[in-house]
Chains A and B, each alone.
Chain A
Amino acid sequence: MKLTKLMLTTSALTVAAGAAFAEGHGAMADSMTVVSWGGAYQNSQVKAYVEPYVEMNEGLEVVTDESSAEAVTKLRAMAEAGNITWDVVDVVAADAMRLCDEGLALEIDPDTMLADAPDGTKASEDFGDLIVSECFIPQIVYSTTFGYRTDLLETAPTSVCDIFDTETYPGKRALEKRPIGNMEWALICDGVAIEDVYDTLETEEGVQRAFAKLDTIKDDVVWWSAGAETPQLLADGEVSIGSTYNGRLFSAIAEQGQPIGMLWDWQMFDLDGWIIPANLPADREARALDFVKFATDTQRLADQAKYISYGPARASSAPLVGQHAELGIEMAPHMPTDPNNAQNTFLFNYDWWASYRDDLDAQYQAWLLQ
C-alpha cells in the first residue's frame, strides 16, 4: 500500500517535471522503450535515429528491445494484462495491419503527426502507397532475395528459377522454413504468371503444384528460420545459394568481404515501419510521437541508408542516399529499389497471406515432414 502510494507520488512528480521541461509540447515521458529486430538493422536505427534524438533531448533514457519478431503476440498479451511496456515498435507491414485492426496500435494522421518533406510535400504524399494501414508509419523497403557463392558456382545465376537447376548450379540451397516467398517462387518457376500466383495458390491443385516444384530440390535444401543463418551458411560453404533479407547479404558482401553475389531476380518486397501501441499514458504517447516524427523525416530516413542497404520509405529521401558511413561506398546500387535490381519484383501480399497463412503453413510443415 505504502509502496503504491510512493510510486504514485514519484510518477506524479516525474510527470510534473516532464511538463516543466516540455514547454508547450505537452508532457513527455523521460524514458522510452524502442522495440526492433536486433542485429545490424537495429544498429542502423540506433545510429541514425536514437543517438541524434537523445542528443537533442538531454536526460532521455532509451531502452532497446529486440522482440519485433513476436511483436503481435506480445502486444496482445500486454494489452490483455493491461500493462503495455513498449513505446515505439518496429514491425513489418502485415503485423502493423493486424495490430491496427485489433485496436492495439495508435492511428496516425501522417499530415499532422509526421514531418513534411523539406520542399513542403505533405507526409501522406511523400510516403504515398507505402502507408498501408492507418497505424503504420513506413520506414524502409526491404526485400527477401538470393545470394550465391561466386567462387563455388562456375556460372553466375541470373534467374530465380536457377535455384531449381541443381545440374548447372550445384550445391545446397538455403530456403526459409515457412511457405511465404517459397510458394510464390515455385509457382513463378513452374510457369505461372506473376499476377496469377495468389489465385493459383488459393486452389488445392495450385498448392500441390508449388510443392511438386519444391520437391525437385527438397533434398538439396537447408531450411533456415532466422535471417542471419543464410549469410553464415554461405560463408561456411554449406550452401551455394540461399535466400534471406537483402541487408544481411549486403553486410556479408560489403562489410565482411565474403565472395557472395546478389541475385535480385523476383525479389520479394516488403515494408517495415513503426507503430505506437494504443492506450499509452499521455506523456509516453507524446514522447513516442515526438520520436517517430523526428525519426521518419526526410533526412533521418536517408541517414539510416548509410548503415544498411534498405530503401528509405519517403520519395524525398531517395536523392539524399549517399555513401556508407564507414566504408565510403555508394549505397544506391545496393538498394533493392535501385532500377537495375528491381527489374522483376513482387510485393509480398499481406492481405492474402493473412487469410491463408495458418492453413498453408500447416500444409507446408506436413510437406516438410514427408
Chain B
Amino acid sequence: MADTTTDGPMLAADGTPLKQSLARALRRQKIRALMLTAPLLVFVLVSFIMPIGSMLMRSIQNTAGTEYVPDILPNVVAELEGWDPTTGELPSEAAFRAMIVDFKAAFENKQHTQLGRRFNYETPGMSSLFRKSGRKVSRMDVAEITDAKAELIDVDDDWGNIQYWATIKANSGYYTSSYYMAAFDAERTIEGVQMKDPDQRIYQKLMLRTLWLSGLITFCTLAIGYPVAWLLADLPLRTSNLLMILVLLPFWTSLLVRTSAWKILLQEQGVINDIWIALGFSDRLSLINNQLGVVIAMTHILLPFMILPLYSVMKTIPPSYLRAAKSLGATNTTAFLRVYFPQTTPGIGAGALLVFILAVGYFITPELVGGADGTFISNRIYFQFSTLGNWGLAAALGTIMLAIVLLLYYVYDKLVGIDNVKLG
C-alpha cells in the first residue's frame, strides 16, 4: 500500500513510467498513420513539390544548357569584374584574351551556341555572334596572339559592341533576375533597369487579360449556373436526375471535342451566323477567334464546376426555410436575398474558386478559339517553353502566375474564409 502513495512517477503494468509508456503508444500510432499516408506524401513530393521546386529554381538559375554561365566563362567573369560599362570603354585586353580561352573550351564542349542563346534572351544578335565565331575562334592560339582585342573584332565586328559585353557582365553570376525582369516587361540597358516601351509590354497585358477574362468567365458561369443548380435542387428527384445528366454529359465529353464544336457553331460561315443571316440581318457576327469566343467556349466548358458545388450546397437547405420566411411576411425577393442566398454562399465560394483557378491555367481552348486577342498567359508560357526553348522565362512567368493565384486565394480566405467553402 505504501508504494502507491510515494511521490515517484506513476507506473504502467510493465513497470515503465506511465507518461513514457503513453508517449510511446502515441508515437507508434503516429508512425502507423504516417506509414499509411506515406505513399501519398511520396507521390505528392515526387510529382508535385519537386517539379514545382525545380521550376522555381529554373527562373533564377543563370544556366546555358546544363551548366552555369560563370562555370563556362570563368576567366571572362573574373576579368570583367573591374570593368564599368557606363564609361563607354570596351573591356581590357585581358578580358578579350580570357574570352578567347573560355570560348575555345566552350566550343570543345559544344556549349558556345547555348551560351549565345542565353545572352540572346537579353540582347538580340548575340546568338549569331557566338555561333558564327565558333570555328574561327576555336582555331586561334592564345599563346601566339599579341592583340586579342583586334583579333577578336577581326573575327566579327560585333565583338566590339559594348552592349554585348555589358550583357555578358550583367549575366555572369550563378543566379539572375533577368528572367523576372523580362516577365515584368523590364529590360537591362547600360543605363540600368528600365521598363520597355508601353506597346512592347506584352506579359503585363497578358496577365491582366488572363485574370480579367477568368473573372468574367467565373461570373458568367455563376450567372448561368446558379438558377440551374437551384432548379436541380428544387425539382423532384426523378426530374432532377434527368436534368443532372444533361449537366454531366458535356462534362464527360472530351474538352477538345467541345471546343471544336464551338468552332463550328460560332465561325462566320457557321450555324449561328447562318441563322442570323436567315433572320434577315445583313452583317455576319464575329463570334470566334476573339475574346468573346473564349468567354463563350470556356463558360460552357467550366459550367459543371460551378453547378455541382452549388447544387450540393443547395440540396442541404431545407425548403421549409423559404416557406417560413414567406409566412412571416417576407416578399419573394426578401426571402431569397436574406434567407436563401446567404446559405448558398459556401457553394458560390467553392464554385467560383474552382472555376477561376481552372480558368487562369487554361490552355487549349484559348489556343484554339482565342485568335490574336483572346490568348492567355499559359499560351505564351507554352510557346516560350516548347518553341523558343526559353525555360527560364517560362518558369518565371509560371512562378508569377502561381504567386498571383496563391495571393488571390489568401485574399479570398481573409474575405470569405476558406472554412466556408463547401464542395458538398
Residues of chain A having any CB pair with chain B under 8 Å: 69-70, 72-73, 76, 80, 98, 101-103, 172, 177, 221-223, 225, 236-238, 351-352, 354-363, 365-370
Chain A residues near B371 (CB-CB < 8 A): 222-223
Distance in angstroms from B114 CB to nearest chain A CB is 6
Complex partner residue of A80 from B66, B128, B201, B373, CB under 8 angstroms: B66
A355 touches B120 (CB 8 A): yes
B202 touches A365 (CB 8 A): yes
A369 touches B372 (CB 8 A): yes
Chain A residues near B120 (CB-CB < 8 A): 355, 358
Please give 9 more A-B residue pairs, beta carbons under 8 A apart, in addition to A101-B131, A358-B121: A70-B387, A73-B387, A73-B389, A76-B389, A98-B113, A102-B113, A172-B268, A236-B267, A236-B269
**Can you name 8 A-B pairs with beta carbons within 8 Å?**
A101-B113, A223-B289, A223-B371, A225-B367, A358-B390, A362-B202, A369-B206, A369-B372
The CA-CA distance from A362 to B390 in the complex, in Å, is 12
Measured CB to CB, the nearest residue on chain B to A278 is B110
B107-122: contact bitstring with A at CB < 8 Å (1 yes, 0 no)?
0011011100000110
A366 touches B386 (CB 8 A): no
Give the A-B contact count at a CB cut-off of 8 A: 81
Known: A101-B134, A354-B131. A359 touches B124 (CB 8 A): yes
Chain A residues near B385 (CB-CB < 8 A): 73
Chain B residues near A103 (CB-CB < 8 A): 109-110
The CB with the most chain B CB atoms within 10 A, among A80, A357, A366, is that of A366
Distance in angstroms from B396 CB to nearest chain A CB is 14
The CA-CA distance from A70 to B268 in the complex, in Å, is 32
The CA-CA distance from A101 to B380 in the complex, in Å, is 26
Known: A72-B389, A101-B113, A366-B202. A356 touches B373 (CB 8 A): no
Chain A residues near B205 (CB-CB < 8 A): 366, 369
Distance in angstroms from A197 CB to nearest chain B CB is 17
The CB with the most chain B CB atoms within 10 A, among A73, A103, A351, A365, is that of A365
A363 touches B267 (CB 8 A): no
Measured CB to CB, the nearest residue on chain B to A67 is B386
B110 touches A101 (CB 8 A): yes
A370 touches B199 (CB 8 A): yes
B233-273 with Cβ < 8 A to chain A: 267-269
Chain A residues near B289 (CB-CB < 8 A): 222-223
Chain B interface main SS type: helix
Complex partner residue of A354 from B114, B127, B134, B380, CB under 8 angstroms: B127
Chain B residues near A70 (CB-CB < 8 A): 386-387
A363 touches B128 (CB 8 A): no
Chain A residues near B269 (CB-CB < 8 A): 236-238
Q: Is B200 an interface residue (CB 8 A)?
A: yes
Chain A residues near B386 (CB-CB < 8 A): 69-70, 73
The CA-CA distance from A225 to B380 in the complex, in Å, is 13
B180-205: contact bitstring with A at CB < 8 Å (1 yes, 0 no)?
00000000000000000001111001
Distance in angstroms from B420 CB to nearest chain A CB is 38
A369 touches B110 (CB 8 A): no
The CA-CA distance from A81 to B128 in the complex, in Å, is 27
The CA-CA distance from A201 to B107 in the complex, in Å, is 30
The CA-CA distance from A72 to B385 in the complex, in Å, is 11
Complex partner residue of B372 from A73, A98, A177, CB under 8 angstroms: A177
B110 touches A355 (CB 8 A): no
Distance in angstroms from A219 CB to nearest chain B CB is 9
Distance in angstroms from B262 CB to nearest chain A CB is 14
Chain B residues near A102 (CB-CB < 8 A): 65, 110, 113-114
The CA-CA distance from A365 to B204 in the complex, in Å, is 13
The CA-CA distance from A363 to B187 in the complex, in Å, is 14
Chain B residues near A368 (CB-CB < 8 A): 372-373
Chain B residues near A366 (CB-CB < 8 A): 199-202, 205
Distance in angstroms from B156 CB to nearest chain A CB is 12
Q: Is B12 an interface residue (CB 8 A)?
A: no
B89-114 with Cβ < 8 A to chain A: 109-110, 112-114
Distance in angstroms from A129 CB to nearest chain B CB is 18
Measured CB to CB, the nearest residue on chain A to B209 is A369
